């Protein structure tokens, strides 16, 4: 009997299409959902099945797609579709690329269906193997079946054929069960059937769906498993569908974290990528995006209105109205509001970065503080140090980036400029407005001393008739009367 209980498996991923309806220079399968390209989701699911082979069929923007495939499935076979159009031809060239000795089942999936999960695919494989049929496909009944191929069943419920929408009669279009584009075949039966499939149809393509009718003509059974949750099978052809799928997956991700002990105050304004890791008792306030490989420790609070990408946040830290990318925030540290942490920013335990502060490639050790209106780049700031408002590390000399090293328990006055490379010793101070160009010894006070000059009458002489000149004149008159 065809199929029996063979356990060998090859997965064929169809990723050759141009995706013209996306209207994008980016190949369709490389558009992202929840931090992964569409084909990345599909390849991760395929790999979870532990198949003997994964074959990815490529054509449009071949090299760009191949590079991403290599990231997610480095052992995958890369197969180039030739000039013969159609999914049938795509699968045919994939079969030819498989080892001739492979005689197992072939699972065919689309590279633009990111939500289809491995549990559903395992159920399809189990059905296919236990029923001993030549092909098993997934079907569903969507709210709007327009454009989808219709599943035609016989009186026993077996599949007779699949009719593409453009080739269907009015009676067939009236049917609501549609083909989802996911199939399991016996390799031998599929190879034989594909050889008999032609291109006489409205699109002039070699349809994979025509295999079903060919198998039936050879007295080989074809089954269809109907999936009630049609969102699992939703393919992406345009940006509307891309957003719909992303929203659905995001809702699933959020629900999963809520059930795992994370408080998410406003799920509708919260976005979390699949690669994010959250501990118990994390609190996420409205307007938060957690992206890439971000990790958040137990008891930390993120938000409101914060975006973290590839950022590590330690336990009990607080991050408010902050944009961070490639940063590391240790336990009990506080950040924000309106802070910008760039790659290489590392805040030690109990460190503080306050309002309108930018940190780049710098380390703040335990308890160090940069509270207000400052830029700290390429710097090391010691334990317990406090950087006054308006501080700037002048780290770029026009050719090279240089580092500033500030010791422990340093106190710097407002508007200090550190001209790197420069070092301030432990316990040193800087006066307000200091421009620090040379090393400051431990315990010393750095000052930029210049005498203040007042040019009497300058405003009245140079800004005659202005509000300032009028105010100055009145003030001077009052002073003279005294």
Instruction: Please give, one letter per residue, the 3-state secondary structure of the chain.
Output: CCCCCCCCEEEEEEECCCCHHHCCCCCHHHCEECCEEHHHHHHHHHHHCCCCEEEEEECCCHHHHHHHHHHHCCCCEEEECCCCCCHHHHHHHHHHHCCCCCCCEEEEEECCCCCCCHHHHHHHHHHHHHHCCCEEEEEECCCCCCCCCEEEECCCCCEEEEECHHHCCHHHHCCCCEEEEEEEEEHHHHHHHHHCCCCCCCCCCCCCCHHHHHHHHCCCCEEEEECCCHHHHCCCCCHHHHHHHHHHHHHHHHHHHHHCCCEECCHHHCEECCCCEECCCCEECCCEEEECCCEECCCCEECCCEEEECCEECCCCEECCEEEECCEECCCCEECCCEEECCCCEECCCCEEEEEEEEECCEECCCCEEEEEEEEECEEECCCCEECCCCEEECECCCCECCEEECCCCEECCCCEEECCEEECCCCEECCCCEECCCECCCCEECCCCCCCCCCCHHHHHCCCCHHHHHHHHHHHHHHHC
Q: Which of 164-173, 219-228, 289-298, 473-482 has the highest mean pLDDT?
A: 289-298
Give dist(CA 94, CA 89) in Å, integer. Answer: 9
Q: What is the mean pLDDT of residues 57-75?
A: 97
Specify whether 394 is located in the same domain as 288: yes
The total number of structural domains in the chain stands at 2
Catalytic residues: 372
Residue 3 confidence (pLDDT):
40
pLDDT of 199? 83
pLDDT of residue 482: 65
Residues 209 and 314 in one domain: no
Return the axis-axis angle of helices 38-48 and 62-72, rounded to nearest 10°. 40
Quick one: 18 and 145 in the same domain? yes
Q: Are 406 and 420 in contact (CB under 8 A)?
A: no
Per DSSP bridges, beta strands 328-329 and 435-436 are: unpaired
Worst-scoring range by mean pLDDT, 4-8, 131-135, 441-445? 4-8
- 251 belongs to a structural domain: no
Maximum Cα interatomic distance, the chain, rounded to a whole number of Å: 116
**Is 302 buried (19+), middle (13-18) or exposed (0-12) by CB count in 10 A?**
buried
In a shared domain, residues 416 and 297:
yes
| 42 close to 56: Cβ distance less than 8 angstroms | no
Any domain includes 382: yes
- Residue 404 in any domain: the answer is yes
> Within a 10 A sphere around the Cβ of 40, how many other Cβ atoms?
23
Q: Are residues 183 and 328 in the same domain?
A: no
pLDDT digits (tens, 9 = 90+) for 426-447: 999 999 999 999 999 999 999 9
Left, alpha or beta for 319 (phi > 0: left; psi -120 to 50: alpha)? beta
Q: Answer whether residue 2 shows pLDDT above 80.
A: no
> Residue 337's domain spans which residues?
262-446
Name the β-bridge partners of 98: none
Same domain, 229 and 268: no
Same domain? For 199 and 272 the reply is no
Whether 277 and 134 map to the same domain: the answer is: no
β-strand pairing of 417-419 with 306-309: unpaired
Give the separation between CA 356 and CA 339, rounded to whole angstroms.
5
* 94 and 210 part of one domain: yes
Least confident of 113-117, 165-169, 255-259: 165-169
Confirm whether 239 is domain-assigned.
no
CATH label of the domain that carries residue 209? 3.90.550.10
374 in any annotated domain: yes
Of 360, 382, 386, 393, give the one whose Cα is nearest residue 372.
Answer: 386
The answer to the question of residue 163 being in a domain is yes
Given a cut of 60, is residue 222 above it in pLDDT?
A: yes
212 shares a domain with 288 = no
- The reply to whether 205 falls in a domain is yes
pLDDT(7) > 90:
no
CATH number at residue 382: 2.160.10.10
In the listed set 233, 253, 276, which residue is the last one of a domain according to the structure?
Answer: 233
Q: Are 163 and 172 in contact (CB under 8 A)?
A: yes
How far apart, in whole angstroms, are the C-alpha atoms of residue 235 and residue 114?
8
Q: What percent of the chain has pLDDT over 90?
A: 86
221 and 315 assigned to the same domain: no
Give domain status of residue 250, yes or no.
Answer: no
Looking at the fold, whether 66 and 108 belong to one and the same domain comes out as yes
Q: In whole numbers, what is the pLDDT of the chain averaged over residues?
A: 94
pLDDT in tens, 382-433: 999 999 999 999 999 999 999 999 999 999 999 999 999 999 999 999 999 9
């Amino acid at each position: 009997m065809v199929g029996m209980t063979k356990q060998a498996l090859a997965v064929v991923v169809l990723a050759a299409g141009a995706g013209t309806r996306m209207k994008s220079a980016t190949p369709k399968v490389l558009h992202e959902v929840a931090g992964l390209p569409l084909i990345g989701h599909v390849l991760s699911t395929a790999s979870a099945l532990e198949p003997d082979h994964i074959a990815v069929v490529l054509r449009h923007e071949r090299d760009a797609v191949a590079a991403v495939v290599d990231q997610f499935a480095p052992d995958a076979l890369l197969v180039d579709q030739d000039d013969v159009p159609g999914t049938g031809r795509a699968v045919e060239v994939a079969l030819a690329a498989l080892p001739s000795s492979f005689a197992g089942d072939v699972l065919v999936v689309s590279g633009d269906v990111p939500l289809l999960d491995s549990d559903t695919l395992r159920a399809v494989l189990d059905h296919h193997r236990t029923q001993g049929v030549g092909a098993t496909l997934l079907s569903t009944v969507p709210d709007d079946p327009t454009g989808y191929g219709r599943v035609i069943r016989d009186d026993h419920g077996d599949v007779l054929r699949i009719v593409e929408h453009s080739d269907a009669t009015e009676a067939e279009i009236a049917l609501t069960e549609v083909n989802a584009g996911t199939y399991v075949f016996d390799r031998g039966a599929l190879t034989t059937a594909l050889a008999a499939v032609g291109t006489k149809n409205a699109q002039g393509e070699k349809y994979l769906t025509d295999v079903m009718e060919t198998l039936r003509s050879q007295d080989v059974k074809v089954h269809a498993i109907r999936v009630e949750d049609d969102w699992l099978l939703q393919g992406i052809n345009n940006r509307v569908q891309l957003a719909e799928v992303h929203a659905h997956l995001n809702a699933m991700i959020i629900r999963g974290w809520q059930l795992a002990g994370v408080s998410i105050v406003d799920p509708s304004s919260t976005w979390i990528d699949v690669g994010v890791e959250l501990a118990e008792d994390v609190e996420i306030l409205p307007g938060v995006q957690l992206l890439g490989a971000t990790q958040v420790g137990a008891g930390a609070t993120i938000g409101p209105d914060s975006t973290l990408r590839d950022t590590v946040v330690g336990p009990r830290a607080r991050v408010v109205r902050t944009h961070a990318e490639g940063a590391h925030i240790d336990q009990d540290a506080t950040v924000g509001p309106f802070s910008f942490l760039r790659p290489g920013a590392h805040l030690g335990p109990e460190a503080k970065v306050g309002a309108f502060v930018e940190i780049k490639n710098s380390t703040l050790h335990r308890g160090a503080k940069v509270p207000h209106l400052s830029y700290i780049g390429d710097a090391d700031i010691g334990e317990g140090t406090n950087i006054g408002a308006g501080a700037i590390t002048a780290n770029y000399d026009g050719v090279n980036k240089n580092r500033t090293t500030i010791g422990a328990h340093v106190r710097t006055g407002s508007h200090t400029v550190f001209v790197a490379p420069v070092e301030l010793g432990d316990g040193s101070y800087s006066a307000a407005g200091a421009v620090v160009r040379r090393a400051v010894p431990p315990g010393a006070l750095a000052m930029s001393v210049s005498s203040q000059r007042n040019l009497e009458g300058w405003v009245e002489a140079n800004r005659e008739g202005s509000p300032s000149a009028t105010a100055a004149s009145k003030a001077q008159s009052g002073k003279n009367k005294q």
